[in-house]
Amino acid sequence: MLVLFIPPVVFTSCSGSDSEDDAPAVESKNTKIEISFSGDYSKFEPIVNFYAYDLKGKGLTIQTEEGAKDAEWTKSYEDAPFSSVSAEINDYFIAFNANVFMYNFNNETGSVTITGKVYYDGKLYRTDTQDVTFEEDKEGVVYSYTPADGFINHVD
Per-residue model confidence (pLDDT) at position 67: 96
Average pLDDT rounded to a whole number, residues 97-112: 96
pLDDT level of residue 29 (50, 70, 90 thresholds): confident
- pLDDT of the residue at 28: 72
> Is the pLDDT higher at 83 or at 154?
83
- Residues 14-28: what's their mean pLDDT? 44
Is the predicted pLDDT of residue 8 greater than 80, yes or no?
no
Which has the higher per-residue pLDDT, 42 or 13? Answer: 42
Please calculate the CA angle 153-93-149 and round it to the nearest 5 degrees.
25
Spatial contact of 14 and 121, defined as CB atoms under 8 Å apart: no
Which pLDDT value is given to residue 27? 61
**Cα torsion 45, 36, 5, 135: sign:** positive
Task: Please provide residue 107's backbone torsions phi and psi, each rounded to the nearest 5 degrees.
Answer: 50, 50
**Domain spanning 30-155 has what CATH number?**
2.60.60.60
pTM: 0.83
pLDDT of 11: 38
Separation CA 88–CA 73 (nearest Å):
11
115-156 tens-digit pLDDT: 999 999 999 999 999 999 999 999 999 999 999 999 998 765
Cβ–Cβ under 8 Å, residues 74 and 97: no
Q: Provide the residue ranges of all domains of the chain, joining segments of one domain with +.
A: 30-155
Can you say whether residue 14 is alpha, beta or left, with left for phi > 0 and alpha for psi between -120 and 50 degrees?
beta
Q: Is the pLDDT of residue 1 over 60?
A: no
> Percent of the chain beyond pLDDT 70?
81
Q: How far apart are CA 19 and CA 16, in angstroms?
A: 9
The arithmetic mean of pLDDT across residues 48-73, rounded, is: 96
Share of the chain above pLDDT 90, in %: 78
